[in-house]
Amino acid sequence: MVPPRKKTLSAADHLRARQLHERWFTLDTHLDTPTARLMRPGWDFGARHAFGDDGSQCDLPRMADGGLAGAVFAVYVGQAARTPEGLATAHARAVACLERTHEVLRLNAAQAGLALTADDGPALQRAGRRAIYLSLENAYSLGRDPANVAKFHALGVRMIGLTHMLNNDVADSSTDPRGAEWGGLSPLGREVVAECNRLGITLDASHASDHALAELLERSRAPVILSHSGPRAVCDHPRNVGDELLRELAARGGVLQINALPISLVDDPGNRRTEAVAELLLRFQALPPTLETRAAEDQAFEEVCARYPNPPVSVADVVRHIEHAVHVMGPDHVGIGFDLDGGGGTFDGLRDVADYPVVTAALLARGWDETRLEKLWGRNSLRLMRAVEASGG
C-alpha cells in the first residue's frame, strides 16, 4: 500500500471537516453515556457540560459542536456473580437504565429522538434532531432466558454485545484471567444469536474472544459488528482483533468500528492495566451485588487506574488504526466507535464528541477523499444495520 500523502493541518482542513460533518449522517456506535451520565441524579443531557469539569464526553450541545448526527448509546451493567440473584440484579439495572434513557429523550424531544431502524437516523437528522440508538453491552444482563432478547428489543435495543471483560453465560471474553470457558459461544449463546437474527438485532463481538468471534461469524446469518475495537497488528491488546479475523469479518459484510481507548491504541507492555482491571472485576464478581460492593469496586478501580495510568496517545494513533483497518478490510468495512464516556478519548485532540472533526481533518490532511470519509463516519454502519434488519424474521 502506498502511504497517503501528508501535510500540516490547517484552519481550512478543520473548517472543511466541520462542514462535511454537517452534510453527512455521522454515527458513533459506542458511547457509554447512559450508564456513566444519564443515571446520575440531576445530570442534564440537554445542557452543555465540560470534560474538565465533570469528566463527561457527550451531551446534545457538544454533539452539535462536533457534527455528530447519531450515537449508539450502550447500556452497560457491571458483571456480578453468575447466580440467580446477581443476574436478576443486573437485568433490573439494565432495564432501569433503558427506561431512564427513554425519559431523557422525551425531555429533549425537540433536539433528539430514539432511532429503531437504520433509516430512522437520517430521518431524525432531516428533522433537525440527533438520533439515539440503543445497545446492550454485555449479554450478562440478559440472564439465562433467551426470551429476554425480545424483552430488550421491545425496550428499543437494536444491538447486543456478547461479553465485557469476563466470561459470561453466553460467550468467552478476550480478557478473562481464567481463560476460555466455552471455547467460543455457549449453548445459550447460540440461542441468543438465533434470537437476535430473528428480531433483526445487530450482534456485537467487541470484548469477545477470538474463538467467540469466529463462531459468531459462522453462525450468524446477518453481518456482525465490532462496535468499539481495533486492529491487533497496530496495538497488541487482547480485545483488538487480528488481520485474519478482520478479513473474515469484512468478507461476511461486517464492520470494525475503531475504538479510542488509550490502552487499545498504544501498546502497554504486558497489558498491565487491563490485567489489573480484569482481576479486580473477577474479585468483586464473587461478592453480593449491593450498593456497598459497587462503591468499593469503584474505589478499587480508581486505585488501579492511578497505579497503571494510560499510555500517552494522540489523534495520530487513532489515524494509524483507521488506516490499517481500511488497508486490511477495505473502505466499506470500517467505522467509528470511540467508546467515549467509557474510557475512550480523554487525550489532547479527542476529549469529547465536539472534537470529532479533528479526526476528519487529520484524515483529510492525509489525502482521504469525501467518499471514504462519509463511509467511515456512518454509511458503512447504516449499511450493516439495514442488512441485519433485512435478514430478520
The predicted pLDDT at position 285 comes to 84
Residue 87 belongs to a domain with what CATH number?
3.20.20.140
The predicted pLDDT at position 3 comes to 44
| Structural domain of 324 | 11-391
Q: What domain count does the chain have?
A: 1
Integer Cα distance of 344 and 263 in angstroms: 9
Residues 6+ apart with CB under 8 A from 79: 90, 138, 140, 164, 165, 166, 168, 281, 285
Residue 54 C-alpha from the chain's centroid: 21
Does 1 fall in a domain? no
The predicted pLDDT at position 10 comes to 77
Report the 10 Å Cβ neighbour count for 154: 9
pLDDT category of residue 4 using cuts at 50, 70 and 90: very low
Closest C-alpha among 114, 62, 380 to residue 225: 380
Does 236 fall in a domain? yes
- pLDDT digit string (tens) for 238-252? 999 999 999 999 999
- pLDDT digit string (tens) for 142-200? 999 999 999 999 999 999 999 999 999 999 999 999 999 999 999 999 999 999 999 99
Residue 302, Cβ density class (10 Å: 0-12 exposed, 13-18 middle, ≥19 buried): exposed
The predicted pLDDT at position 84 comes to 93
- pLDDT digit string (tens) for 88-111? 999 999 999 999 999 999 999 999
Q: Which residues pair with 347 in a beta bridge?
A: 350
The predicted pLDDT at position 7 comes to 52
Q: Read off the C-alpha cell for 205.
A: 463481538
Residues 6+ apart with CB under 8 A from 247: 328, 329
Q: For the residues 308-333, what does the mean pLDDT come to?
A: 96
Amino acid at 147: A
Q: For the residues 361-390, what does the mean pLDDT come to?
A: 97
Q: Kindly state the percentage of the chain with pLDDT values over 90.
A: 86
| In contact, 157 and 192? CB cutoff 8 Å | no
Does 221 fall in a domain? yes
Q: For the residues 40-54, what does the mean pLDDT come to?
A: 97
Integer Cα distance of 391 and 223 in angstroms: 9
Residue 145 C-alpha from the chain's centroid: 24
Does 73 fall in a domain? yes
| In contact, 252 and 222? CB cutoff 8 Å | no
Does 386 fall in a domain? yes
- Is a pLDDT exceeding 50 seen at residue 6? no
Integer Cα distance of 238 and 263 in angstroms: 10
| In contact, 75 and 38? CB cutoff 8 Å | no
- Is a pLDDT exceeding 80 seen at residue 335? yes
- pLDDT digit string (tens) for 62-87? 999 999 999 999 999 989 899 999 99
For the chain, the average pLDDT equals 95
Integer Cα distance of 156 and 140 in angstroms: 18
Q: For the residues 21-28, what does the mean pLDDT come to?
A: 97
Does 149 fall in a domain? yes
Does 117 fall in a domain? yes
Q: Kindly state the percentage of the chain with pLDDT values over 70.
A: 98
Does 162 fall in a domain? yes
Residues 6+ apart with CB under 8 A from 143: 87, 88, 90, 91
The predicted pLDDT at position 71 comes to 98
- Is a pLDDT exceeding 70 seen at residue 116? yes
| In contact, 240 and 210? CB cutoff 8 Å | no
Q: Output the pTM of the full model.
A: 0.95
